[in-house]
Structure 1
Amino acid sequence: MSYQLELLTENPSQWTTVSYVTPEIQKKEIKPFVILALKELEGVPDSRTSSLMCADKFAAVRGVVRHVARLRSATRLPWARDDLKVFLEGLQFTPECVSELSTLLCTEGVYASVPPHLRVKPGLAALHWRIDLSLSQARTPPTSPPAGPASRRTLLQQHTHVILLLTTTDGRTSTYRLLLAKFHELRFAVASALKSMIVLEKRKCMRKD
């Protein structure tokens, strides 16, 4: 499975309701639905949206358009039509609709006006770290060893570095070199953020009915 297809199909349960409607959608309805969905994403909804007789069909196409548009910035590459076709076929679109919809969603121009805050940024796929012993030893001044344990500990903290290797979901790898004290600051910041997220998720306003 390609990376793009894996990204598109990472949460199949969200499409259960959509797949009940998609077989009924006709090819001639695809383009108008896509145009209306893109206008909503751009913040200029069309008044015709509220008076659609086939609201369930439009909702299904709108969900697909929003999903594909939001993931576009995470890939940093044009969509592969074959991957989009496999994704749409899995949602039970007819072959004619698959062809029409994949052609429209593979057109780069349709994403030009999508607001940046609606685009998904690359996430963290893997994180590895190691102690930079060789460099820390090379940077240690050639003086006599410190007399006490506290002095030795201070010297280690000043000259020991931690190498962080981060791999993001778009396939890129970044390397960061931190002092030991800064590494502990980063650990504390991440732990605090996670604790705040857990507290927020427990609030009633964040629970689904």
Structure 2
Amino acid sequence: MKKWMIPVGIIVVIIVIIFFWAMGVKNGAITKSQGVKESWGNVQTSYERRNALIGNLVKTVEGAANFEKGTLTAVTEARAKATSVTVDPSNITPEQLAQFNQAQSGVSSALSRLLVSVEAYPQLQSNQNFLKLQDELASTENEIRTSRTRFNETVKDYNNYVLKFPNSMFLGGYPEKPYFEASAGSDKAPDVNFNIK
């Protein structure tokens, strides 16, 4: 065996090892990026379920009582605005996430006003369909919170993977993804006013 073949063989082995390691890093980033997309899909599914329930809730309230039209209109408009905001999970930005969160906060606020207003309608409070929808909404809100938490956990895992050295040297095309943050003012307790006349 010729002496020059030993260094060439070592160099070839090192190149092959580096190639497979870099390929593993890239494939890992793809897997984690897909995990973020899946997790965001779960968040959207939870919000879609809430929007569908809100439509049924509004119809039940309209049918069961001569309810305040302004409250129902606010809920319907907030729901329409929330469904119009879309976020691409592969190119998610903090601005997109903030816009989505703001639209969803509008739905939550309008829905809270609707549920507080219901207190003035005893026949509606005893309506089984309404009570079932209220339970479904409470369950869905818990599902939304869980989905958002899991999304943030997935984003953390992704960000740690693509930002740590030496992976960051090979993953320049994989930008850091933003976390889902609470809406502005959500740290303050809501002012509930039962103004029943």
TM-score by length of 2: 0.26
Higher strand share: 1
Higher RCO (CA 8 Å, separation ≥ 6 residues): 2
TM-score by length of 1: 0.25
Higher helix share: 2
